[in-house]
Amino acid sequence: MKITSESAILGIGLIILAYEVYFLKSKDEEILAECKADINVIHAEIDALREASTAAASSRNLETSPFTCTDNVCTAENKLFQFPKGVVIGKLNITCPYGTASLSVDLEGTNCPGGDNSVTFGKSNSVEATGSFSSITGGLNNEVKGSFSSITGGQDNKVTGKYSLVSGGWKNKVSGERSSILGGKKQTVKSAAKFYPTTKSSDSPFICESGWCTSVNKHFLFPEGIVIGMKDVKKCEYGTASLTVDLDGTNCASGDGAVAFGNHNIAKHDHTTVTGGKYNTASGQYSSISGGHNNFATGYISSISGGISNEAIGTLSSILGGAFNSTENENEIFPQEVIIPAPIPVPVPVPTPNHTHPFECKDGWCTSSEHHFLFPKGIVIGHKKPMCNHGDGILSVDSGRVDGGGNIKGSNCPKGDGSVTFGRKNKASGRGSSILGGKDNSVDGEGTSILGGEEKKSKIDFSTSWEA
């Protein structure tokens, strides 16, 4: 107790009075009685001073407290609190050897975080002393003995391996290190780095290996829709039964049965499709955009194949391409169809037995007589590519490809004079160059050859490349 000046003075007075009592005790009983009364008064004043000093000390303690309390609720100041031994929220488990820096939320006093830096929530859950840095965050009657391990819920689960996990379920046990059980009942994982259920479970329609999952021979039904890639979480409300292929979350198939590919494309109405390009919008019901940039198909069953800033407004109207074009009328097409008169049939001369005609034709095959044939411009066997400027003295073998209208068109382009193209989608631009097979190859050098392969390019004159 802190001694104040008032209490010191009263103490001295008490000593003086006591001396006077002793001195006068045998001489005057009346004076003695008065002195005793004074002593009682001094005692009462000292007691009052003590009570006042205690109240002041309590007041000072409240003034330094980090909490403000009102109606049994105390609110802490904006401070960090350190509890070196640990914290128990609820009731203490008197039989638990609590670990250092442990945390327990315990309504009935049945949890026990016995490991250092361990955590227990739920009921009757325990982390043994060997389970340092481990936790049980829910469930009933679960136990962890391995360090750096966890049980997140369920009942009667046990983890004895290090770095292991049981997510839930009943009576599951993990003794292997770095192993996990997601759930179920009475499952056991004893080996290290194992997982239950495995990805090759008979219940799964996929077999997964090396980062790829292959489906079993089944059909798959997705009533709500599919997003392949990244979902647009900011502004898109995806339609029912919609499909989106989206690298960076910018496409939106908001119509029911809508499809959106490409980048920053919107399939806004029911059954609309945008299958490529950027910043395109198909808002007319059943409308479609195949590609291009900043195109708008607003008409009913309208379509745009490509180009820039085109708008198909009319019902059943179409734009094949170009820039800043619009079709406002029903069934309008851009560009306008060019009607070419049908050619006048030319009678085919019938071969004569004296072989003045160079071919004899039978059953769909024509056989030449013993002649050489000269083709100054070149030969295309199969199908011609419409957009290719064919060189002179060229040869192309081209099986063709089917375009969007169901027509077969060529894909090879022997552009250089004296060039040769076999295979598919190959382009020979150099003089005397050749591509003898493969796909998507191109040569620009003079006398350059590519023998096969895919997506090969060569610009070096008189060089040869082949598929290794």
Using DSSP's 3-state secondary structure scheme, residue 34 falls into: helix
* Type of residue numbered 360: E
- Take residue 139 and report the two structure tokens written for it: 């469930």
* Dmax (CA) of the chain: 181
Angle at 16 between CA 15 and CA 22, to 5 degrees: 90
The encoded tokens of residue 355 equal 């072989």
Rounded CA-CA distance 452/436 in Å is 6
- Beta carbons of 149 and 159 less than 8 angstroms apart: yes
Residues 327-380 pLDDT 10s: 999 999 999 866 677 777 777 665 555 445 666 777 777 776 666 777 788 888
- Sequence-ordered strand ranges (E) for 66-106: 67-70, 73-76, 86-90, 102-106
- Residue 144 CB burial class (10 angstroms; 0-12, 13-18, ≥19): buried
Q: What are the pLDDT digits (tens) for 116-131?
A: 999 999 999 999 999 9
396 burial via Cβ count (<10 Å: 0-12, 13-18, 19+): buried
> For position 48, what pLDDT does the model report?
72
Instruction: Write out the two tokens for 166.
Output: 């049981």
Q: What is the pLDDT along the chain (468 residues), one digit of tens a residue?
A: 445 555 565 666 666 666 565 555 545 566 666 666 766 777 777 777 767 666 555 554 545 788 888 888 888 888 888 999 999 999 999 999 999 999 999 999 999 999 999 999 999 999 999 999 999 999 999 999 999 999 999 999 999 999 999 999 999 999 999 999 999 999 999 999 988 887 554 567 777 777 777 777 777 788 888 999 898 878 899 999 999 999 999 999 999 999 999 999 999 999 999 999 999 999 999 999 999 999 999 999 999 999 999 999 999 999 999 999 999 999 999 998 666 777 777 776 655 554 456 667 777 777 766 667 777 888 888 888 988 999 998 998 998 888 888 888 899 999 999 899 998 899 999 998 998 888 899 999 898 888 888 888 888 888 877 654
The DSSP symbol for 105 reads E
Q: What dihedral do alpha carbons 405, 411, 413, 418 form, nearest 10°?
A: -120
Q: What does pLDDT average to over the chain?
A: 85
Decide if 131 contacts 117 (C-beta within 8 A). no
Q: How far is the C-alpha of 7 from the C-alpha of 187, rounded, in Å? A: 76
Q: Coil, helix or strand for 18?
A: helix
Q: What crossing angle do the helices spanning 5-24 and 29-63 adopt, rounded to 10°?
A: 160
Name the pTM for this structure. Answer: 0.36
pLDDT at 41 (0 to 100):
73
Residue in this structure with the two tokens 């039964």, named with its chain if needed: 241
- Beta bridge pairs of residue 229: 246
C-alpha closest to that of 449 among 463, 468, 467, 429: 463
Angstrom distance (rounded) from CA 311 to CA 180: 56
CB 128 within 8 A of CB 144: yes
Task: Report phi then psi at 186, rounded to 5.
Answer: 55, 40
- Render pLDDT for 165-216 as a digit per residue (tens, 0 to 9): 999 999 999 999 999 999 999 999 999 998 888 755 456 777 777 777 777 7
